[in-house]
Structure 1
Amino acid sequence: MATMKDIARLAQVSTSTVSHVINNSRFVSDEIRDKVLAVVRELNYTPSALARSLKIKETKTIGMLVTASANPFFAEVLRSVERYCHRHQYNLILSYTDGDGERLQRNLETLIRKQVDGLILMCAESHWQLNDDISQRLQLPMVMLDWWPTALNADKVHENSEYGGYLATKTLIDAGHRDIAIITGSFKKSLALNRLNGYQTALSQAGIPFRQDRVFESHFDIVSGIESMQQILRLDPRPSAVFACSDTIAIGAYQAVWRAGLQVGKDISIIGYDNIELAQYLSPPLTTIHQSKNNLAKQAVEMLLARIKNPQLPYRTLTLEPHLVWRESVALRGVKGFVVTVS
């Protein structure tokens, strides 16, 4: 394999001149540059990314730890993260842990050995906790997306989940519903509690009493949506509407309604949260709260790159605002002048 020394010998220049030509790090006359590049082409020389990274202590690589989830929300975020890494000429190494702490330890050690420049952390599992040893190993520049089970010195990007919960519930109230159940994620997750708080605020503002028997704590997955909706359908009286705190919960709720021989948007209304791509293709299409996966990823990558370049920056928390996407899963109950922006 050809080296810079080989190029320098054949081009009759110094190795430092070859380096300046290849890395475009200093002015070199056109005559010398053309001479060096001709030898580069002749020898089919490819610079060693590893050697360069060891020299400048930068690998142009970002690691992303995801604890694993079947929730399409995370796949959509991941796709956007990779796109923005590519735009900034960074490679992305994805590490799934499948909810296994030992696997996380091994994957983390692998990322450290690969000398990633920084980490993006995204936790999907509310029932899973990090041990102290793992937390102490996380000393790289980091950004936490959405939620992480332990406190870390890291920048954070999340959405205003309390406002999102408020907006979802207020939409159902404005559509004429007053008996509204809510299916949450685990209360170990702050965003689940935040969405519940938003639900309670909207009820309070409308003068609707909060009822604990209308709150169903579960997980952000389809199975939990099925099980919780089955319980809701057995209530007497049955709520006219349900706020599913994720679109995956809503998908499970749809399945339970269908199994009961009922119809979403007619017999019971459902509003979701996240606006995953699949939401628009449900029958009927799902009304939901949109949080921008693309913007979440963009901000995370840009905050991490800023942290890599300047580790002394104060830690920041960025909050993104959600908005309503109205579709056909919510019935209007005796209201007039109800206007929404259809997306």
Structure 2
Amino acid sequence: MATMKDIARLAGVSTSTVSHVINQSRYVSEEISARVNQAAQDLNYTPSALARSLKMNRTKTLGMLMTTSTNPFFGEVVKGVERCCYQKGYNLILCNTEGDSQRMKASINTLLQKRVDGMILMCSSLEGERIDIFEKYPDVPVVVMDWGPMLFASDKIQDNSLQGGYMAARYLIENGHTQIGCITGPLHRHQAQMRYEGYKRAMREAGLEFNPHWIVESNFECDGGYQAFNRMYDKGPLPSALFVCNDMMAMGVINAAHEKGLSVPQDFSIIGYDDIHIAKFMTPPLTTIHQPKYRLGQAAVETLLSKLEDLSRDALVVQLEPTLIERNTVKCYALSTQS
């Protein structure tokens, strides 16, 4: 394999001049640059990424840990991370933790040994974990996404789930619904709890009562929405509307309702959360709360790179705001006639 010394010998220049041309680290005349580049081409020279990273103390590589899920929400976030990495000239190593604490810590160890410049964590099922290894690598910044309280210093990217939950319930109320249920995510998870709190705030403001039969905790997956609806159905009359705290569970709810001969929004209304790509192609198209998924991923990379530029700055919390997407799953009642 050709080296810079080989290029220098063929081009008739010093090794340092070759280095400046290859790395574009200093001005070199056009005539000499052309000779060096031609020599490199003739020798099939390929720059060593490892050697460059050791010299610059940067690998131009970021690591990302996430938990596998059937929810395409995560894939849409990763798309934003990967695209932003590409635009900024960085590579991305993606690791799957499968919700396992030991696997997460092993993956973090591996990424640190590969000298990644920074890490993005999207493992919300592991909230509250103490990850002591980060204390040994203070020069490797960490950004967490979709996570609750942390036991280590890092920047944080999150959507305003409290506001999103409030917007969802408020929209149902504004459409004349007074009997409103909620299928939550796992309430030990911060984002699920905040969406539920937003729902409760809107209900309290409107002076509406909470029927415990209409509040069901589930798992953020399609099967969870399916099972939650069946449990609610078995307890008695349904509410006129449901806030289902993510679109995947909403799909399960609609499927379960269809099996029982019920249709949306004729028999009951539903609003979801996330606005995953397939939400607008559901039957009927799902009214939902939009999370800026691509922007979440982009913001994580941009925040991480800004930390690399200034490791001494204080930790940031970057919060992106949700928006309402109106489609066809919420029936509007005249306020005077809603029972």
Task: Work out whether 1:164 is the aligned partner of 2:164.
Answer: yes
CA distance in 2, matches of 1:135, 1:305: 17
Measure how far apart 1:32 and its partner are. Answer: 1.4
- CA–CA distance in structure 2, aligned partners of residues 133 and 114 of structure 1: 18
Residue 149 (structure 1) shift: 6.8
Distance of 2:289 and 2:152 partners within structure 1: 28
- Residue in 2 aligned with 1:223? 223
2 CA distance for matches of 1:156 and 1:213?
35
Q: Which of 318-327 and 102-111 deviates more?
A: 102-111
Q: Is the 8 A contact 2:105 2:131 kept in 1?
A: no
Who is 2:238 aligned against?
238
Cα distance in structure 2, aligned partners of 1:42 and 1:277 = 49
Change (3 A) 1:137 1:280: farther
Q: Answer whether contact 1:69 1:124 (CA < 8 A) is retained.
A: no
Contact 1:122–1:148 (8 Å) recurs in 2 = no
Where in structure 2 are the equivalents of 1:95-244 lying within 5 Å? 95-125=95-125, 130=129, 132-133=131-132, 139=138, 140-147=140-147, 150-244=150-244
Task: Give the partner amino acid of 2:113.
Answer: R
Aligned pairs, number: 335
Residues 185 and 245, structure 2, Cα contact 8 Å, conserved in 1? yes
SS of residue matched to 1:125: helix
Distance in 2 separating the partners of 1:46 and 1:137: 34
Contact 2:131–2:152 under 8 Å retained in 1: no
Per-residue Cα deviation, 1:169-191 (whole angstroms, up to 9, x for no partner): 01111111111110111111111
Cα distance in 2 between the residues matched to 1:132 and 1:8: 48
Q: Percent identity?
A: 47
Query: How does the TM-score come out when normalised to structure 2?
Result: 0.94
8 Å CA contact 2:124, 2:189 repeated in 1: no
Shift of 1:234: 2.4
Once residues 287 and 235 of structure 1 are traced to their aligned partners in structure 2, the CA distance between those partners, rounded to angstroms, is: 26
| Distance of aligned partners of 1:156 and 1:304 in 2 relative to their CA distance in 1, 3 Å threshold | same
Deviation at 1:220, TM superposition (A): 1.1
Residue 73 of structure 2 corresponds to 73
Partner of 1:143, secondary structure, is strand
- TM-score, normalisation: structure 1: 0.93
Q: State the alpha-carbon separation in 2 of the partners of residues 228 and 185 from structure 1.
A: 11
Asked if 2 retains the 8 angstrom alpha-carbon contact of 1:181 and 1:232, the reply is no
Match of 1:87 in 2: 87
The 8 Å contact of residues 185 and 192 in structure 2, kept in 1 or not, is answered as yes
Number of the residue aligned with 1:34: 34
Query: Matched residue of 1:92: which SS?
Result: strand
Match of 2:51 in 1: 51
Pair 44,9 (structure 1): closer, same or farther in 2 beyond 3 Å: same
- Cα 1:33/1:79, change in 2 over 3 Å: same
Once the two structures are superposed, residues 239-286 of structure 1 have per-residue CA deviations (whole angstroms, 9 ceiling, x without a partner) of 111100001111111111111111111111110000000111111010
Contact kept in structure 2, 1:232 and 1:239, CA below 8 Å: no
Counterparts of 2:319 and 2:147, CA distance in 1: 12
| DSSP-derived class of the 1:144 partner | strand
Distance 2:153 2:86 in 1: 26
Superposition map of 1:257-276 within 5 A: 257-276=257-276
Counterparts of 1:138 and 1:147, CA distance in 2: 21
The 8 Å contact of residues 68 and 123 in structure 1, kept in 2 or not, is answered as no
SS at match of 2:2: coil
2:314 is matched with: 314
In structure 2, relative to structure 1, the CA distance for the partners of 1:219 and 1:24 (3 Å cut) is same
Please give the secondary structure, in 2, of the residue aligned with 1:172: helix
Change (3 A) 1:233 1:118: same
Deviation at 1:152, TM superposition (A): 2.2
What is the rounded CA distance, in whole Å, between the counterparts of 2:128 and 2:316 in structure 1?
23
State the alpha-carbon separation in 1 of the partners of residues 250 and 36 from structure 2: 62
Aligned twin of 1:340: none
Evaluate the alpha carbon distance shift between residue 137 and residue 101 of structure 1 in structure 2; reply closer, same or farther with a 3 A threshold: farther
Deviations 1:130-165 (A, max 9, x none): 355566567520111111574221101111111100
Structure 1 letter corresponding to 2:129: L
C-alpha distance in 2 between matches for 1:211 and 1:29: 78
Shift of 1:71: 1.2
Separation in structure 2 between the aligned mates of residue 255 and residue 129 of structure 1, nearest angstrom: 34
Measure the CA separation in 2 of the matches of 1:136 and 1:188. Answer: 26
Per the alignment, residue 7 of structure 2 pairs with: 7
CA 1:219–1:149: 2 relative to 1, 3 Å: farther
Q: Please list every run of 5 or more consecutive structure 2 residues that lacks an aligned counterpart in the other structure.
A: none
Two-structure CA RMSD over aligned residues (Å):
1.8
